[in-house]
Structure 1
Amino acid sequence: MTYYPKTFLLLGSLFLFCACTNRMSIDKLKDQISSKLAEQPGNFAVAFKDLSTGEMLLLNDQDFFHAASTMKTPVMIEVYKQAAAGRFSLNDSFALKNLFSSIVDNSAFSLNAHDDSDTTLYQHLGEKYSLYNLVYDMIIRSSNLATNMVIELVNAHNVTQTMRQLGADKIQVLRGVEDSKAFDKGLNNVTTANDLLVIYEKMAQGEIVDNASSQAMIKILLNQEFNDIIPARLPKDVKVAHKTGNISHVLHDSGIVFLPNGKKYVLVILSKNLQNEANAKKAMAEVSEMIYNYVITPRES
Structure 2
Amino acid sequence: MLDSFPDTVSVYVGRLGAAPAYTRLPDTTHYAASTMKVAVLAALHRSGLDLDAEVPVHNVFESQTTGLFGCTPEYDTDKQVWDRLGGTARLRWLATRMIVQSSNLATNIVLSHIGLPAVEDVWKSVGARHSTTRRGIEDYAARDAGIENLVTAADLAALLTATVAEPELRGVLLAQERTEDLVAGLPPGTRIAHKNGWVHGVRHGAGVVFPDDAPPYAIAVCTSTDLPDADACALVARVSAAAWAQR
Shared fold (TM-score, shorter chain, > 0.5): yes
Residue 30 of structure 2: aligned partner: 65
Q: What is the CA–CA distance in structure 1 between the aligned matches of 2:162 and 2:47, rounded to whole Å?
A: 18
Q: Which residue of 2 aligns with 1:91?
A: 52
Identical pairs, percent: 28
Deviation at 1:202, TM superposition (A): 2.3
Q: Name the residue aligned to 1:145.
A: 105
Q: CA deviation at 1:170?
A: 1.5
Separation (CA, whole Å) in 1 of partners of 2:143 and 2:19: 38
Alignment-derived partner of residue 181 in structure 2: 229
2:79 aligns with 119
Given residue 79 of structure 1, which amino acid in structure 2 is its aligned partner? L
Q: Does 1:290 align with 2:232?
A: no
User: Kindly tell me: are residues 101 and 53 of structure 1, through their superposed partners in 2, closer, same or farther at Cα, counting changes over 3 Å?
Assistant: closer
SS in 2 for 1:49: strand
Are 2:12 and 2:20, in contact at CA under 8 Å, matched by a contact in 1? Answer: no
Q: From 207, 221, 234, give the equivalent of 1:269.
A: 221
Going from structure 1 to structure 2, the CA distance change for 1:53 and 1:171 (only over 3 Å counts) comes to closer
Q: 2:41 aligns with which of 76, 80, 92?
A: 76
Asked if 1:178 corresponds to 2:138, the answer is yes
CA distance in 1, matches of 2:82, 2:130: 33
Contact 1:98 / 1:110 at 8 angstroms: preserved in 2? yes
Classify the secondary structure of the residue corresponding to 2:217.
Answer: strand
- Paired letter, 1:156: L
Note the alpha carbon deviations across 1:177-225, whole angstroms, 9 max, x for none. 1111011112110011111111222234x2xxxxxxx111110011111
Name which one, 1 or 2, has greater alpha-carbon Rg: 1
Q: d(CA) in 1 for partners of 2:44 and 2:214?
A: 28
- The one-letter amino acid paired with 2:2 is S
**What SS does the aligned partner of 1:254 have?**
strand
Q: CA deviation at 1:52?
A: 7.8
Q: Deviations over 1:1-34 (max 9, x none)?
A: xxxxxxxxxxxxxxxxxxxxxxxxxxxxxxxx32
Query: What is the identity, as a one-letter code, of the residue corresponding to 2:65?
Result: V
Q: In 1, are the aligned partners of 2:38 and 2:160 still within 8 Å (CA)?
A: no
Match of 2:14 in 1: 49
CA RMSD of aligned residues (A): 1.6
- 1:21 corresponds in structure 2 to none
2:44 partner amino acid:
V
Q: How many residues align?
A: 247
Distance 2:163 2:235 in 1: 27
Q: Which amino acid aligns with 1:139?
A: I
TM-score after normalising by structure 2: 0.95
Which is richer in helix?
Answer: 1
Maintained 8 Å contact 1:67/1:190:
yes
Q: Which amino acid aligns with 2:200?
A: S
Query: What SS class does the counterpart of residue 153 from structure 1 fall into?
Result: helix
Aligned residue type for 2:142: A
> Is 1:134–1:147's contact at 8 Å kept on the other side of the alignment?
yes
Q: Which whole-Å deviations, capped at 9, do the CAs of 1:223-244 have from their partners, x for residues lacking one?
A: 1111111111311231111000
User: 1 CA distance for matches of 2:18 and 2:125?
Assistant: 25
Using the size of structure 1 for normalisation, the TM-score is 0.78
